A and B are shown apart, each in its own frame.
Chain A
Amino acid sequence: MSQTTVTPNRSPVFSSSRLPRWAPAVIAVASLALSIGISLVAGWESKVQWGLIAALLFVIGSYAVTARIEGRRQAKDRVATSLVWVCFLLAVVPLLSLAWTTISNGAQVVDGYFLSHSMNGVLNSDPGGGVYHALLGTIEQVLIATVIAAPIGLLTAVYLVEYGKGKLARAVTFFVDVMTGIPSIVAGLFVLSFWILILGFSFSGFAGAMALAILMMPVVVRSTEEMLKLVPNELREASLALGVPKWKTITKIVIPTAIGGITTGVMLAVARITGETAPVLLLVFGSKIINGNPFEGAQSSLPLYVYQEYGIGTEQSIDRAWGAALTLIAFVMILNLVARGIARWKAPKTGR
């Protein structure tokens, strides 16, 4: 790789010819126009193609132009820049489309009635109906899962950071990592095989909650561990040196110092399991009516509702699926935003 900055064939050393700042924009517009032209002539309807061709033309165009005016190295740099921009735009389009369609389709359905009624007695082809039973099911299942997973996860993280050494701690660390990667459907199958097939319990919100708890635990352990590690050792020593026993040092000094981050981690984990469909499908079974008891009988949940209404496939049920999808996203996003808000405001006081 040549690292010489001074290229001999260019006379003024520092003021080599450069493209004006507006050049990339011009190339972008030109390639977009050209791609639309080509596509119209060839009769390709797909807008996906238009975009892809425009992107390709943009990359080639900027390379050609830069190579002529600024030289090869600059051209490579320019290509990399354009590629990075193209990647960004490529990713933004589907993600924006996802957000837009969910919001616009969902907003037509979601209203007070939709949020406060169940599907009891609503036929597939009927309009109306709502997600109340699913929302209730989701909240209950997620709460139970959190009640199981958060303490175990938190204490495991405390063990790993404050007490753990040796083989056991290494094994726990390793399996927490492994557990993070368990597909949600496998967690569902596990609870199915042991709780329902072997112990003989029936489908219930609680069964689903157990699978969700398995998915949640490693996430809580990981994030809590990170937060506890951020607590400076000096604080632990300061507390120990005051003659405070270790467990009080942990509960009164270490955990309060990290509590903002820990809360954030737990809430993000909650947000993650809220959207899980597969274990709920296997274990909670789905229901059209309101069942407030998570320990007995089938329940519904928001993601499951989306899946089932989509599966029915009538116009009305698809509308309901969008409505529930929007409700679900809103629920998850609120959790996320609140969690991040806590992380920001609960950060250790620095005084100003």
Chain B
Amino acid sequence: MAKRIDVSGLTAYYSTFKAIEDISMTVEPRSVTAFIGPSGCGKSTFLRTLNRMHEVTPGGRVEGKVMLDDENLYGSGVDPVTVRREVGMVFQRPNPFPTMSIFDNVAAGLRLNGSYKKSELNDVVEKSLRGANLWDEVKDRLNRPGSGLSGGQQQRLCIARAIAVEPKVLLMDEPCSALDPISTLAIEDLIGELKEHFTIVIVTHNMQQAARVSDRTAFFNLAAVGQPGKLIEIDDTERIFSNPSVQATEDYISGRFG
């Protein structure tokens, strides 16, 4: 059920500021693609264009095409709400809904999009929590508030919430940057399992993480502050980290700048 993403000529703006320019790439289904690059290079912005979250920011605007299999997300008549059901997202900081219990958090996407029978919900919640490797830790307290969990557990709860609606693609915006090393490891393991079912795109600042979890890596950079960010290259992760074809990538990876 995972789908292929095909981006061509994508440019995104904040009001008049051009944040990223002319990006084209392909993301294969059932793979993990990591975006790396210095701060401000537009990798998070680009990620957010992949499920039309970019336009939620006031002034956010996009030109170009993002094909999900053979549907353009930005085609006329496309409802961004349905796009986001197909392309789920996990954020930098864990953000469980504070008014909801653990169970309700996972069920939120389904419940808010339609009505379900209690038994169906039970199944989906258990399946999603198992999928997020959280079930054993929380199965006895599904009715406690989600915000009572530890940071790492909260983030896995958010992943469970995202996969409960069975998206085709899962976007992760620096999902581990607010977590300790042990929780980070748990999430990384989880990513490895999730890629069996989903197309995963992850933004990370941590190059070891990119090397550990991803199949392919895209390097973004910007010429100068105030200039739009650009895709420098995308390739198999191994190759990017051993023998990149662009000098800037090598400089960045070996820590010579950024």
Which A residues are closer than 8 A to B by beta carbons?
165, 232, 234-246, 248-249, 252-253, 256-257, 259, 348-352
Contacts and interface: CB of A to CB of B under 8 A. Distances in A.
B95 A351 contact: no
A161 to B, nearest CB: 12
A244 B53 contact: no
Given A165-B58, A350-B145, A242 B165 contact: yes
B99 A243 contact: no
A241 B84 contact: yes
Interface string B137-178: 000000011111100000000100110010000000000000
A238 B165 CA distance: 13
A350 B98 contact: yes
Contacts of A245: 81
B137 to A, nearest CB: 14
A239 B84 CA distance: 10
A232 B147 contact: no
Contacts of A232: 95
Interface string B4-42: 000000000000000000000000000000000000000
Interface string B95-114: 11111000000001100110
B89 to A, nearest CB: 4
Interface residues of B, number: 33
B88 A241 contact: yes
A238 B81 contact: no
Contacts of A349: 98-99, 145, 147-148
Contacts of A244: 81, 84, 108-109, 112-113
A249 B91 CA distance: 17
B99 A351 contact: no
Given A234-B91, A248-B112, A349-B148, A242 B161 contact: yes
A247 to B, nearest CB: 10
Given A238-B91, A241-B53, A243-B165, A351 B148 contact: yes
Contacts of A165: 58
Interface string B58-90: 100000000000000000000001111110110
Contacts of B84: 240-244
A198 B243 CA distance: 85
A222 B240 CA distance: 53
A237 B53 contact: yes
B93 interface: yes
Contacts of A351: 144-149
Contacts of B51: 241
5 nearest CB pairs, A to B: A351-B148, A243-B85, A349-B145, A348-B98, A241-B89
Contacts of B225: none
